[in-house]
Amino acid sequence: MSLLQKERDVITRNEYADSFDFDEIEDFIRNANKEMFISHHFKKRDRILVQPRGGFPTYKKMFELYEEFMKADIDVLPLTIDSNTRLNDYAMAKKMLTLSEENEMDMLNGYPLVNHGYRTTRKMMTHFNKPVSLRHGTPDARLLVETALASGIFEIEGGPITYMLPYSKNFPLDKAFLYWKYVDKVCALYSTLNEPINRESFGPLTATLVPPCIVIVIQLIEMLLSIEEGVKSFSVSFSQNGSMMQDIVTSHVLKKLAREYADMLGGEDAIINLVYHQWMGAFPRDKNLSDSLINTNTVIAAMVRADKIIIKTRDEAFGIPTMQCNAQSVANTKYTLRTLKGLPEVHDAEEEENLELEVRAIMDAVFNDPADTLWRKVFNTIKNGLIDVPFSPHIINHNEVITIRDDSGNIRIIEKGKLPLPDRCFAYEKSKVNLPESKTEVITKIIHDIGAML
Amino acid sequence: MKVVTGVVGNDIHVVANRLIDISLQARGFEVFNLGVNTSLEEFIDAVVETDADILLISSLNGEAEGWCRDLQFLRSEYDLKEVIFVIGGNLAVGEAAQSDIIPKYKSYGFDLVFHQIDLNTGLDEIERFVKEKA
């Protein structure tokens, strides 16, 4: 028995999980309908796939949500996981699930997949016969992902950096790398049976003035870590940042470099997809304005030629949306995409060149780290502050980079901390901003820039 | 002057914490930022360790009260009489009047209490308080 299989046996032998029958699961995946694999839909490249977020505690309510989505002609169904499961607290998830079932009241903010188990959940997934995307935020997602794949959920979001730096203060980053290595290995293993399992990174990060060069570097790294383990279909992603031009520039550089780095490191046969998130910062409290923001986002997703768009709802400022509201948002987004025709191809050579140079400089710093494996190089790079995510709560993050918007809404770096940016790139960033005289005014402007869509 | 700051309790609201950090630095303070999810004991340990002049605790989710009741006790335990204790942010769950909240937190041992006050206004107040004390 391989070491991986031994580890899988240990991980899946859990009192709150189904008993895993790996041979049966392999058979299921081998014979699963291709419609259930998002990678199969990506290959066609004939439209932007629309995916909302959503998860309810009980099987019954989850089923009803999917029925609402189906009426809106959805492309990709979401399965959002509750916060107890994300922290591996299956005992609490079980208790809250029972309370939700008994009282017809939602006591969890998502679907506790491990407690429901794969035998039950698979019935729902095969019934709807649509690609499903696992949305969570779990540092140790080993059991969760085993359960998801066995259920027929063939897209797994997340990664050791993007599910860690925005969400956790002190979960050890080195452990997260190893736990996600396991996830990638299992995804790769199942990818040989049918269409490939798609892995997706979470580009929005803290969604708080994160400069494009940091987003792209982290997208490239998580893609390379997955490809290293044998993943054959990967989605890089980013979210609306407040300037349409900067989003378009980001998309060009991200697509170009993702292909280049993948090819360079043995991923020539991997499919790379682009995912665009609608605005991930604070939403207006006026629902009509939210509709307008969502619609603008859809236009930008089309402009950046995204393969998939992940949408928000008009209820965003108030909490978890109702099923009807969520489904309406799917229908609206699909309508906008259907009516958008003749989009121009836009480029800004100067901006693209500058961003590309920044990304290459940081990637060089990663590869030049003396550690022996990629994940250790990345770990050291983050620890040394050469990768630094603004507004991360994690203790390993340096928090020295400071960004602000220029007059066109582009995010610019005004303090680079230890980012290894070439001098000319940093000079270019700073030349774009007219900073107020006093530091107090600068901070007032940063506060304003964070809430750009309010 | 040295300031220890951070967000008290099970509160992961990091954005305001970072803004407080850079604002204090911009005003010339030496900042020791403990970040989010910090317990009262950790704050006091850091004040002792850094020999800080000011402890600035923030809270956004409104749960600060439960975490700060032991402040008087800890304050006397460690003989921290010279340290200025400040708390600010959103100090109650749901609606609450300034006139109720401020005396309550002062009775816990805080010298300055800011409930839903603009960041720069609060920091101006702290600077004024420091000057008057000196």
- Among A391, A440, A442, beta carbon nearest to B14: A391
Determine which of A349-358, A421-430, B10-19, B120-129 has the lowest per-residue pLDDT on average. Answer: B10-19
Give pTM, 2 decimals: 0.95
Tell me whether residues A169 and B119 touch, CB distance under 8 A: no
Q: What is the pLDDT of residue A99?
A: 95
Question: Active-site residue numbers of B?
Answer: 11, 13
Could you report the predicted ipTM of this complex, rounded to two decimals? 0.86
Tell me whether residues B12 and A395 touch, CB distance under 8 A: no
Scanning every residue of chain A, which has its alpha carbon at the shortest distance from the alpha carbon of B13? A393
pLDDT band at B10 (very low <50, low <70, confident <90, very high): confident
The end-to-end CA distance of chain A, in Å, is: 56
Containing structural domain, residue B81:
2-133
Domains and CATH numbers, chain A: 3-339 (3.20.20.240)
Does the structure show a pLDDT above 80 at B94? no
Taking the C-alpha atoms of residue A153 and residue A140, their distance in angstroms, rounded to an integer, is 18
Which residue of B11, B14, B23, B123 to mutate against A (max A Cβ within 10 Å)? B14
Question: What tens digit of pLDDT does each residue of A209-226 get?
Answer: 999 999 999 999 999 999
Q: What is the pLDDT of residue B9?
A: 87
The end-to-end CA distance of chain B, in Å, is: 12
Q: Residue A320, class by beta-carbon neighbours within 10 Å (0-12 exposed, 13-18 middle, 19+ buried)?
A: middle
Q: What is the pLDDT of residue A71?
A: 98
Taking the C-alpha atoms of residue B37 and residue A213, their distance in angstroms, rounded to an integer, is 29
- Among A208, A440, A444, beta carbon nearest to B15: A208
- Structural domain count, chain B: 1
Q: How far off is chain B from A401, nearest CA to CA, in Å?
A: 11
Query: What is the phi/psi pair of residue A90, to 5°?
Result: -75, -25
Tell me whether residues A440 and B19 touch, CB distance under 8 A: no
Calculate the CA A354 to chain-centre distance: 25
DSSP code per residue over A12-62 = H--TTSPPP-HHHHHHHHHHS-GGG-HHHHHHH--S-EEE-----SSHHHH
Taking the C-alpha atoms of residue A254 and residue A320, their distance in angstroms, rounded to an integer, is 31
Q: What is the pLDDT of residue A125?
A: 98
**Which one, of A328, A251, A242, A254, lies nearest residue A291 by Cα?**
A328
Mean pLDDT, chain A, rounded, equals 97
Which residues of chain A make contact with B23, given a CB cutoff of 8 A?
A: 439-440, 443
Does the structure show a pLDDT above 90 at B61? no
Which residues of chain A make contact with B19, given a CB cutoff of 8 A?
A: 443, 446-447
Q: Angle of helix A118-128 relative to helix A59-71, nearest 10 degrees?
A: 20
Scanning every residue of chain B, which has its alpha carbon at the shortest distance from the alpha carbon of A443? B23
β-partners of residue B87 are: B57, B113
Question: What tens digit of pLDDT does each residue of B24-56 get?
Answer: 999 999 999 999 999 999 999 999 999 999 999
Q: How far off is chain A from B16, nearest CA to CA, in Å?
A: 9
Q: Cα-Cα-Cα-Cα dihedral of A338, A238, B21, B79, to 10°? A: 110
- Among A390, A393, A402, beta carbon nearest to B36: A393
Q: Is B35 an 8 Å CB contact of chain A?
A: yes
Q: What is the pLDDT of residue A319?
A: 84
- Among B12, B23, B26, beta carbon nearest to A393: B12
pLDDT, mean of residues A22-31: 98
Tell me whether residues B26 and A442 touch, CB distance under 8 A: yes
Tell me whether residues A391 and B18 touch, CB distance under 8 A: yes
pLDDT, mean of residues B58-66: 84
pLDDT band at B127 (very low <50, low <70, confident <90, very high): very high
The structure tokens listed for B3 are 């300031």
Tell me whether residues B19 and A447 touch, CB distance under 8 A: yes
pLDDT band at A320 (very low <50, low <70, confident <90, very high): confident
pLDDT, mean of residues A246-259: 98
Q: Is B14 an 8 Å CB contact of chain A?
A: yes
Determine which of A8-12, A402-406, B108-112 has the lowest per-residue pLDDT on average. Answer: B108-112
- Count of pairs with CB atoms under 8 A, one residue in A, one in B: 42
Q: What is the pLDDT of residue A69?
A: 98
pLDDT band at A1 (very low <50, low <70, confident <90, very high): confident
CB proximity under 8 Å: B 48-77 to A: none
CATH classification at residue B122: 3.40.50.280
Which residue of B7, B10, B22, B126 to mutate against A (max A Cβ within 10 Å)? B22
Taking the C-alpha atoms of residue A86 and residue A65, their distance in angstroms, rounded to an integer, is 21
CB proximity under 8 Å: B 101-120 to A: 119-120
Tell me whether residues A440 and B37 touch, CB distance under 8 A: no
- Among A167, A443, A447, beta carbon nearest to B26: A443
Q: What is the pLDDT of residue B67?
A: 85
Residue A173's identity, in one-letter code, is: L
Question: What tens digit of pLDDT does each residue of A98-135 get?
Answer: 999 998 889 999 999 999 999 999 999 999 999 999 99
Question: What tens digit of pLDDT does each residue of A224-238 get?
Answer: 999 999 999 999 999
Q: How far off is chain B from A394, nearest CA to CA, in Å?
A: 8
Scanning every residue of chain B, which has its alpha carbon at the shortest distance from the alpha carbon of A209? B15
Q: What is the pLDDT of residue B93?
A: 76
Which residues of chain A make contact with B120, given a CB cutoff of 8 A?
A: 440, 443-444
Q: What is the DSSP letter of A291?
A: H
Tell me whether residues B26 and A402 touch, CB distance under 8 A: no
Tell me whether residues B37 and A393 touch, CB distance under 8 A: yes
Helices (H) and strands (E) in chain A, counts: 18, 10
Tell me whether residues B19 and A444 touch, CB distance under 8 A: no
Q: What is the pLDDT of residue A453?
A: 95
Q: What is the pLDDT of residue A345?
A: 95
Taking the C-alpha atoms of residue A146 and residue A129, their distance in angstroms, rounded to an integer, is 19
Does the structure show a pLDDT above 80 at A48? yes
Q: Where are the alpha helices (DSSP H) in A238-309?
A: 244-264, 287-303
- Among A395, A440, A450, beta carbon nearest to B15: A450
Q: What is the pLDDT of residue A406?
A: 97
pLDDT band at B134 (very low <50, low <70, confident <90, very high): confident
Q: What is the pLDDT of residue A66?
A: 98
Question: What tens digit of pLDDT does each residue of A186-210 get?
Answer: 999 999 999 999 999 999 999 999 9
Does the structure show a pLDDT above 90 at B68? no
Greatest CA separation found in chain A? 67
Taking the C-alpha atoms of residue A163 and residue A227, their distance in angstroms, rounded to an integer, is 18
